[in-house]
Amino acid sequence: MIVPLRYGNFRRMDRSIHLAVVQFKPRKGDYATNLARLAGVFSQIESLDPRPDVAVFAETALTGYFVEGGVRDVALTAGAFARDLQAQYASAVNTPRTLDVCIGFYEVWNNAFYNSALYVTLGGDEPVIRHVHRKLFLPTYGMFDEERFVDRGFEVRAFDTPWGRAAMLICEDAWHSLTGTVAALDGATMVFIVSASPARGVWPREDEGPIPANLKRWERLARDIAEEHGVFVALVNLVGTEGGKSFTGGSIICGPHGDVRARAPLWDETILTITLDPHDLTRARSDVPLLTDLQTMMPHLMRNVDRIQAGERLVLSYDDEPNQGGPLTPASRGAGAERGAPPKRPAKGSKKVAANADANRNGTEPIAVLRAADSRSGPPPLAIDPELTAGWLTSFLREEFDRRGFEKAVVGLSGGVDSAVTAFLTAEALGKENVVAVRMPYRTSNPDSLSHAQLVIDSLGVQARTIDISPAVDGYLAGEQDADPARRGNVMARERMIVLFDQSAKYHALPVGTGNKTERLLGYFTWHADDSPPINPLGDLFKTQVWELARFLGVPEVIISKPASADLIAGQTDEGDFGISYADADTILNWLVSGYSPTSLVAHGFDPDKVELVRKRLAGTHWKRKLPTVALLSSTGIGESYLRPVDY
């Protein structure tokens, strides 16, 4: 890194800037349709007073983020992208005024693909590209696999704009504090962070309101960059859902004191505008001149980094030991290895200090000792914020139905809490007139199942059908007299899915699944039956969390409090089948899927027999949570090399 000897030679932010943050919801992989929508966005921006100077969009704003191998379908050059934006702007704006746009996209450059951000001035005869930033830090862990599909960039640079000097970061770039430092050292007074980070974390947090846990972390990152460097920061998040992953929105604009100046709503498309005063930069940097301190020390820190990178060991020096260097001149590389133990010399007055220790405390009582509780890590809590969770899931349902082109839903209503919660969420998302609840009893079903399902129907006012599956099931089983209860139960479960999907075709309605995370992890479902519906709002909620959400939604208490049962066999209960309570199973599963070993759970005090019971069910049912195994014969195997997301 080359650090300029003088600072302040850059384009200053010398006037107020009118900023628009655009939370945009793209259709996955449909660049042309998303691009065409920008004409309307530009027209809206043009009509605002004051009119924005800059419009900032999120990461991969016109294609969606999780496109996997589809990157090669949607990537384009920065020049082509700028010309497309210019055409949309020209079609919407008839004045000679220009508009700066900061927007994320998948780029093809030098025969490689990148996750990039473009800063371009639109209007005039031709678009003017001010900068292209290519994402440095590519998440390739957990749900992310970015480095498999795009290359890394290697630079963070600031650049001049008509209103001042700015820099761009993309998503995980901002999680590394050094990137904000580099941008500020290069003269940036505004840092744009464009992000497509899926929402995660529904547990409640005191005094923070109902927002996803990772969004609060994002806010801390943005505020820290702003405060440490005395810069404005605009964090812009994508909205919408992709393959069940919801993008939060909740974009924020931070002032140079680290204060949040404006905040966009969760989940929804929004144009958030604000006017920023450049004098705030001066005040902040005068009040807390951290950037000036860093500029002064940067040459020394860089020499320090160079020595670390070269593997040079520290030469320890203290007291009056001879030193080959000085305060600004380090010891030579040949000065020797790091010292071992220093010479043992008694400190001056050490005996006197030891003898008079109590006297130096201004009293005779010993200093109080405070023992902190043992610090043990653990998984995220099972408690949920039900308001946040309900809003999150209704937004997910709306998005999925809109993307798939459906207005109506069919829900298999069993009389249990899972299907009841699903019906409540679906009615809230689509309206009661767009939900068809289907009861599908068998002749041995518990009569309470029908009556409890009716409570839900009456409570919501949804359309309902009752279809007895007994003739169809018995017709098949008449030729299978030796079928045991497990086989008979599986036939019932699969027959219910035949009915549900046929009703889906009848009403042109999308089937909605009802299985919870506990059932899925323990394999407590019939393969290609309970798991068949194409969308499922409850699949990442443990059973105990479903109960908590049910109470918030107003599901009748008799449904919540009764023993959970698949009702395939008379007298059957879920917990009886498991051999463990849902409360215990959920707690153990939460630890196991968070990366803790069975041994560590036992060390934390869990019953080893219960841990082993849950571990065996979890380990023995992975196959039920996957698509069928296909023999791989080529280099283009579906789901192996030919990769496209479910919603592409």
Domain residue extents for the chain:
17-294, 386-578
How many of the other CB atoms lie within 10 Å of CB of 333? Answer: 11
The residues, any chain, with a CB within 8 Å of residue 223's CB and separated by 6 or more, are: 233, 254, 258, 259, 260
Query: What beta strand segments (E) does 363-479 contain?
Result: 408-412, 435-439, 463-466
- Two tokens, residue 351: 């005996």
Where does 386-578 sit in CATH, by number? 3.40.50.620
Element (H, E) at 102: strand 99-109
Q: What is the pLDDT of residue 90?
A: 96
Beta carbons of 235 and 195 less than 8 angstroms apart: yes
pLDDT at residue number 476 = 96
Using alpha carbons, list the distances in angstroms from residue 122 to 24, 132, 273: 19, 15, 19
Q: Which residues contact 619 (CB under 8 A, 6 or more apart)?
A: none
pLDDT averaged per 10 residues in sequence order, the chain, 648 residues: 42 83 96 97 97 98 95 97 97 94 98 98 95 97 94 97 96 96 96 96 79 93 96 97 94 97 96 96 94 92 93 87 61 47 50 50 80 83 95 95 96 97 98 98 93 97 97 96 93 96 97 96 92 95 97 97 82 85 96 96 95 96 87 86 83
> What integer pLDDT is reported at residue 647 of this predicted model?
80
Q: What is the dihedral of CA 46, 52, 58, 60, to 10 degrees?
A: 50
CB-facing half-sphere around the CA of 596: CA atoms within 13 A: 21
Amino acid at 162: P
CATH number of the domain at 17-294, out of 3.60.110.10, 3.40.50.980, 3.40.190.10, 3.40.50.300? 3.60.110.10
CA–CA gap between residue 139 and residue 127 (Å, rounded): 32
CA dihedral 211, 66, 239, 74 (to 10 degrees): 160
Q: Work out the number of other CB atoms within 10 angstroms of the CB of residue 428.
A: 18
Per-residue confidence (pLDDT) for residue 336, from 0 to 100: 45
Within the chain, what is the greatest distance between any pair of CA atoms? 99
Report d(CA 385, CA 383) in Å as an integer.
7
